[in-house]
């Protein structure tokens, strides 16, 4: 990648911001030294690493890499047999603890999507025993615990006891008859030996060894003879202690040296993991999303925000490049956001190539380029005696020489800084050359002829930064397909320039420039107005859609309530019918029992009449109104008449007599659209529906009209069986039955399968099942009706 372009696009500032989220200095160094990759596979892997780390941090809540010092030098020394200090060993323990925590945190998560991170940590080495030994034995950066070893505990216990004995001896001296020789009663130490402060004039009165003298010469520090041996013993114990401490540190250092290679690999892996977590945290904090990447040069940024602009102030920008056109010619008013858009596009491609998410909406795409070249801003060089234009052209020459198919070119104000006519001509030639190279890019301009040029050349598309002509403020939105007016005079007027100067400037404008700017401005105003109307219509459409959804929801709710009420009514009807049928059958049985007697007594007749009255009363509803009971009688030649209503026994339906043949005892009956010739024996004459039946035998026929709960279709062909089942279902629905049974037998299973396929499509069937054990199993099918 071109280093100058990387600086212009400010990738270094982004990497510096990302590095602030690292826990380790080594992790920061990896981020700051990161270079954008040119390999699509590697870029996708980097982004997937960041995605997995984002999931680990914010879905599973694991901790980042625990901080530890730079231990590379300590590991090398330990490997060579050097003894590490307490502080250095504590740093090693921190490395071991960090390694253990990262390994356990990631490997314990059962998520198949964490492929890369699992692979990264699977070889991380840790030794919990060594980590615990270091922490338990070393209590500070310069001290070991008394319990680091049994020997050390014994030595320190003896030192403690000996110190107490020496102090007791010296305190006896200071409180005895020789106390007058002492400067004060304080026991002190010189050269690791206990001494007492003796006045200079009495130094010959105290037998012992002089170790020191005060600066004034008034006090001598003397070690009395009687504690000489005790001091010698104490010194010996201190030597033993130091040797034991050295032995413990040496043992721990050797264990560290034995795993030097694994721990060195750990430091590298943990630094890399730390940098990955920093990338994920940066993306989370800045509301970034993972972009799609490709090597086709296709860029589609949706609501992109430049990450170096405060999120509350930046206006999201969307643009597309590399599909039907390879170049965008971006024009429009000054301060409209052209340069920021230019830099944002290049920066997003670089961020993705470094494994960073971009500040754009989900679904955004960026490309992986072999090179990204840009010419942005004033590059005047005093040291090289280059003017702004000269430096500008030097960069353009370099870009033209290096431009290739898989390159991204970003040029701000191409051809500016010189004579407008020559600048426009040069700009056209440069753009044509870049298009012919097959590169992709964005060029910003204010040149009118270059905007016109974009309409005549393939591979480039005009685009404009929208500008509010009423408020004279930029809207920071890109419109593809239309050039933008520069609005220089309008902006100057908004900023306070004199109207006289602006009027004079307007007179100096060429007719062509003035005409083109006016056309562009009017087109822009018309487009903005049309989009405003479209947005208003879309809002109305959305509101009506919401209202329509509410109405449909209410209709569905009403239908559910209706079905619930109907279902409840059917259930209640079945309960009432079953209850009254049971009572009627019981009374009929009692009447039949009475009439089985050879001789009927008066009491029997009274009982029969009583039962008959109860049967009649059972035909009343709950409100006391009499139910309609149809009175049927056998049809004979004497009572059959044209026009009367008859009940057709074979069809179980009613019809009307239209003619009667006495010779054949046949009647012509119309039932719906059917006209039939029936025997009188197949007909019942329907009497007055409001009158109760006169004969007990008619009441005895009531059980015959009870709902049928099952049908037997054994022996029928499939077409015949389906017709019978359909008729049976219709009859069951009319009788308000909830569940019926079809007996089809086991056999070859053909009939059962055909019935099942037919029931799947039947609009009256809610569900069906085969019989269970004791119900007929696969020989019967139970049907639940709607």
Rounded to an integer, the average pLDDT of 200-209 is: 72
pLDDT digits (tens, 9 = 90+) for 373-428: 998 875 444 334 355 667 788 888 999 999 998 999 999 888 777 777 888 888 88
pLDDT digits (tens, 9 = 90+) for 268-314: 999 999 999 999 999 999 999 999 999 999 999 999 999 998 887 88
pLDDT score, position 388: 66
* Residue 695: band (very low, low, confident or very high) from pLDDT cuts 50, 70, 90: very low
**Coil, strand, or helix at residue 96?**
helix
Which of 89-103, 218-232, 547-561 has the weakest average pLDDT? Answer: 218-232
pLDDT score, position 40: 95
Asked whether residue 221 carries a pLDDT value surpassing 60, the answer given is yes
Closest CA to 241 of 128, 324, 148: 148
Degrees (nearest 5) of the Cα angle 505, 507, 510?
A: 100
Rounded to an integer, the average pLDDT of 570-585 is: 78
Length of the chain: 786
Burial class (CB in 10 A: 0-12, 13-18, 19+), 630: middle
Pairing relationship of beta strands 317-321 and 299-304 according to DSSP bridges? antiparallel
| Residues near 632 by beta carbon (within 8 Å), at least 6 away in sequence | 647, 684, 685, 686, 687, 698
* Residue 674: band (very low, low, confident or very high) from pLDDT cuts 50, 70, 90: confident
CB 415 within 8 A of CB 421: no
Long-range contact set of residues 38-46: C-beta below 8 Å, sequence gap at least 24: 38/1, 38/353, 38/368, 38/369, 38/370, 39/368, 40/293, 40/294, 40/295, 40/368, 43/293, 43/352, 43/353, 43/355, 43/368, 44/293, 45/116, 46/353, 46/354, 46/355
* Residue 703: band (very low, low, confident or very high) from pLDDT cuts 50, 70, 90: very low
Long-range contact set of residues 210-218: C-beta below 8 Å, sequence gap at least 24: 218/183
Rounded to 5 degrees, φ, ψ at 476 are 55, 40
User: What kind and span of H or E run contains 533?
Assistant: helix 511-595
Percent of the chain with pLDDT over 70: 82
pLDDT score, position 690: 37
Rounded to an integer, the average pLDDT of 181-194 is: 72
Rounded to an integer, the average pLDDT of 146-160 is: 93
Question: CA 502, CA 624: separation in Å to the nearest integer?
Answer: 100
pLDDT digits (tens, 9 = 90+) for 474-505: 667 788 877 766 566 666 666 677 777 767 77
Closest CA to 433 of 456, 394, 399: 399
pLDDT digits (tens, 9 = 90+) for 596-626: 776 666 666 667 767 776 766 665 544 444 4
Tokens matching residue 582: 């049971």
Closest CA to 162 of 224, 221, 235, 226: 235
Q: Across the chain, what does the average pLDDT equal?
A: 83
Q: Sheet of 653-661: strands edge to edge? A: 632-634, 683-686, 645-648, 653-661, 666-671, 674-679
pLDDT digits (tens, 9 = 90+) for 99-138: 999 999 999 999 899 999 999 999 999 999 999 999 999 9
Question: CA 228, CA 221: separation in Å to the nearest integer?
Answer: 14
* Residue 220: band (very low, low, confident or very high) from pLDDT cuts 50, 70, 90: confident
Asked whether residue 518 carries a pLDDT value surpassing 80, the answer given is no
Question: CA 720, CA 728: separation in Å to the nearest integer?
Answer: 12
pLDDT score, position 685: 87
Query: How many other C-beta atoms can be found within 10 angstroms of the C-beta atom of residue 552?
Result: 10
Which of 21-30, 336-345, 392-401, 474-483 has the weakest average pLDDT? Answer: 474-483
Give bridge partners of residue 741 from the DSSP assignment.
Answer: 710, 782
Long-range contact set of residues 40-47: C-beta below 8 Å, sequence gap at least 24: 40/293, 40/294, 40/295, 40/368, 43/293, 43/352, 43/353, 43/355, 43/368, 44/293, 45/116, 46/353, 46/354, 46/355, 47/290, 47/291, 47/293, 47/352, 47/355, 47/357
Closest CA to 407 of 379, 432, 430, 435: 435
**Between residues 212 and 346, which one has the greater pLDDT?**
346
CB 456 within 8 A of CB 462: no
CB 716 within 8 A of CB 724: yes
DSSP 709-759: -EEE-TT--HHHHHHHHHHHHHHHHHTT-SEEEEE--STTSHHHHHHHHHH
Which of 40-54, 98-112, 174-188, 640-654 has the weakest average pLDDT? Answer: 174-188
pLDDT score, position 381: 40
* Residue 696: band (very low, low, confident or very high) from pLDDT cuts 50, 70, 90: very low
**Between residues 256 and 720, which one has the greater pLDDT?**
256
Output the CA–CA distances (angstroms, integers) from residue 391 to 343, 376, 419, in the order listed. 19, 11, 16
Question: CA 239, CA 709: separation in Å to the nearest integer?
Answer: 106
* Residue 532: band (very low, low, confident or very high) from pLDDT cuts 50, 70, 90: confident
Give bridge partners of residue 441 from the DSSP assignment.
Answer: 327, 409
pLDDT score, position 738: 84
């Amino acid at each position: 990648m071109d280093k100058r372009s990387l600086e212009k696009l400010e990738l270094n500032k982004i990497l510096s911001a990302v590095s602030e989220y690292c826990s380790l200095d080594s992790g920061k160094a990896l981020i700051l030294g990161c270079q954008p990759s040119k390999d699509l596979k590697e870029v996708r892997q980097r982004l997937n690493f960041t995605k997995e780390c984002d999931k680990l941090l914010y879905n599973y809540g694991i901790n980042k890499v625990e901080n530890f010092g730079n231990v590379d030098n300590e590991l090398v020394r330990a490997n060579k047999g050097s003894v590490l200090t307490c502080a250095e060993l504590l740093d090693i323990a921190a490395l071991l603890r960090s390694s253990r925590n990262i390994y356990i945190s990631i490997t314990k998560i059962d998520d198949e999507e964490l492929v890369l991170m699992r692979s990264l940590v699977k070889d991380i080495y840790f030794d919990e025993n060594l980590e615990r030994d270091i922490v338990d034995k070393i209590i500070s950066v310069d001290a070991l615990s008394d319990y680091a070893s049994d020997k050390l505990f014994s030595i320190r216990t003896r030192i403690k006891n000996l110190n107490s004995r020496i102090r007791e001896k010296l305190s006896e001296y200071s409180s005895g008859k020789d106390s007058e020789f002492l400067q004060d009663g304080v026991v002190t130490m010189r050269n690791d030996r206990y001494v007492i402060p003796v006045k200079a004039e009495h130094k010959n009165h105290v037998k012992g060894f002089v170790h020191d003298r005060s600066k004034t010469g008034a006090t001598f520090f003397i070690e009395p003879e009687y504690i000489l041996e005790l001091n010698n013993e104490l010194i010996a114990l201190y030597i033993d202690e130091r040797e034991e401490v050295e032995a413990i540190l040496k043992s721990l250092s050797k264990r560290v040296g034995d795993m030097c290679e694994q721990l060195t690999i750990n430091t590298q892996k943990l630094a890399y993991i730390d940098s990955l977590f920093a990338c994920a945290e940066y993306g989370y904090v800045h509301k970034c999303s993972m972009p799609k990447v490709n090597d086709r040069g296709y860029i589609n940024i949706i609501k992109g925000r430049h990450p170096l602009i405060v999120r509350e102030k930046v206006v999201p920008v969307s643009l597309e490049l590399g599909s039907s056109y390879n170049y965008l010619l971006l024009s429009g008013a000054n301060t409209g956001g052209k340069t920021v858009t230019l830099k944002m596009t290049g920066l997003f491609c670089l961020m993705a190539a470094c494994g960073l998410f971009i500040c754009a909406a989900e679904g955004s795409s960026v490309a992986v380029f072999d090179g990204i070249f840009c010419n942005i801003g004033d590059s005047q060089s005093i040291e090289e005696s280059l003017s702004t234009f000269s430096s500008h052209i030097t960069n353009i020459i370099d870009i033209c020489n290096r431009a290739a198919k898989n390159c991204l070119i970003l040029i701000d104000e191409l051809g500016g800084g010189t004579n407008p006519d020559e600048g426009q001509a040069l700009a056209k030639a440069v753009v044509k050359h870049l298009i012919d190279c097959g590169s992709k890019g964005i060029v910003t301009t204010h040149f009118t002829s270059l905007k016109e040029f974009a309409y005549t050349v393939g591979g480039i598309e005009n685009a404009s930064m929208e500008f509010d002509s009423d408020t004279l403020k930029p809207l920071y939105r890109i419109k593809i397909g239309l050039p933008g007016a520069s609005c220089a005079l309008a902006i100057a007027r908004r900023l306070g320039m004199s109207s006289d100067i602006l009027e004079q400037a307007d007179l100096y404008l060429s007719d062509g420039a003035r005409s083109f700017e006016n056309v562009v401005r009017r087109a822009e105003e018309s487009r903005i107005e049309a989009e405003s109307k479209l947005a208003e219509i879309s809002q109305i459409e959305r509101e009506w859609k919401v209202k329509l959804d509410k109405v449909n929801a209410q209709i569905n709710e009403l239908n559910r309530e209706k079905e619930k009420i109907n279902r409840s009514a059917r259930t209640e009807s079945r309960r009432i019918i079953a209850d009254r049928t049971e009572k009627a059958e019981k009374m009929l049985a009692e009447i039949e029992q009475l009439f089985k007697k050879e001789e009927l007594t008066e009491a029997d007749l009274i009982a029969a009449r009583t039962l008959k009255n109860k049967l009649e009363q059972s035909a009343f509803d709950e409100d006391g109104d009499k139910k309609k009971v149809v009175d049927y009688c056998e049809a004979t030649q004497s009572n059959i008449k044209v026009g009367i209503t008859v009940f057709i026994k074979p069809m179980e339906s009613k019809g009307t007599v239209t003619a009667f043949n006495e010779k054949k005892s046949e009647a012509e009956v119309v039932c719906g659209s059917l006209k039939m010739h029936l025997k009188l024996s197949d007909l019942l004459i329907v009497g007055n529906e409001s009158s109760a039946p006169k004969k007990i035998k008619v009441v005895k026929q009531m059980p015959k009209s009870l709902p049928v709960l099952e049908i037997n279709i054994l022996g029928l062909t499939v077409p015949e069986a389906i017709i019978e089942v359909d008729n049976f279902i219709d009859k069951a629905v009319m009788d308000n039955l909830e569940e019926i049974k079809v007996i089809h037998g086991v056999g070859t299973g053909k009939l059962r399968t055909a019935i099942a396929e037919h029931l799947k499509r039947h609009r009256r069937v809610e569900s069906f099942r085969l019989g269970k054990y004791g119900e007929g199993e696969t020989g019967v099918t139970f049907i639940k009706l709607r």
